[in-house]
Amino acid sequence: MNLYFWIPLGVLIVVFIFAFYKRYKMIKGLKDMPESEKLKNLRDSNFKNTISKGVTLVDFWAAWCTPCKIQGPIVNDVAESIGDKANICKLDVDSNKKTASQYGIRSIPTIIIFKDGEIAKKFTGVKTKGVLLKAVKELL
């Protein structure tokens, strides 16, 4: 094999390693972020009661999910911004399988915004703070 094969391959390997390291460093830094006092952790037992009145944003997540680790601080920021006007909540799908299956959560992170107990909006994947704030404010 000639030099024209090995140089691009080497560059690709270096780029891949750099991208992997950068992502690893970002995710590692997200582990120990404190949660907002306005952010509520839901369980199967208190889920229905919490979503029944007003506007409630629920982040369906799991501890092992890398995109959930990215979404978590964003939801935390949303809670700090509008946690007094709407319920901003998290539900661990591993610990609360009944509620997760009831709402058909198949991929995480999934964010569902409820208005008076009914599903108003549903998002799958990581969403920005702006998208979530806009969606909640439209329902207030």
Q: What is the pLDDT of residues 103-122, one digit of tens each?
A: 999 999 999 999 999 999 99
The pLDDT value given to residue 111: 98
- Number of domains within the chain: 2
How confident is the model over 72-99, as a mean pLDDT?
94
Q: Is 89 a catalytic residue?
A: no
Read off the pLDDT band of 80 (50, 70, 90): very high
Residue 65 annotated to the active site = yes
Q: Are residues 4 and 63 in the same domain?
A: no
> Of 55, 68, 78, 132, which one is the catalytic site residue?
68
φ, ψ (nearest 5 deg) of residue 122? -140, 130
Provide the 8-state DSSP code for 2. Answer: -
pLDDT at 5 over 80: no
> What was the pLDDT predicted at 90?
96
Of 85, 29, 66, 25, the residue nearest 113 (C-alpha): 85
Give percent helix, percent strand, percent coil of the chain, each to the nearest 5.
50, 20, 30
Among residues 30, 62, 65, 70, the one annotated as catalytic is 65
For 44, the token pair is 């199967």
Residue 77: which of 36, 114, 110 has the closest Cα? 36
Claim to verify: residue 47 and residue 115 sit in the same structural domain: yes
Kindly compute the dihedral angle of the four CA atoms of residues 57, 63, 65, 66, in this order, to the nearest 10 degrees.
Answer: 100
CATH classification at residue 55: 3.40.30.10
Q: Which H or E element spans position 41? A: strand 39-42
By percentage, how much of the chain surpasses pLDDT 90? 68
Same domain, 46 and 110: yes
Q: Contact 57/89 with Cβ under 8 angstroms? A: yes
If one counts every other C-beta atom within 10 angstroms of the C-beta of residue 132, the result is: 24
Domain that includes residue 71, residue range: 39-139
Average pLDDT value for the chain: 89
**pLDDT value at 24 more than 70:** no
Q: Is pLDDT at 30 greater than 60 in this prediction?
A: no
Residue 27 banded pLDDT, cuts 50, 70, 90: low
116 and 96, same structural domain? yes
Dist. CA 91–CA 44, nearest whole Å? 9
Q: Do 77 and 129 belong to one domain?
A: yes
pLDDT of 29 above 80: no
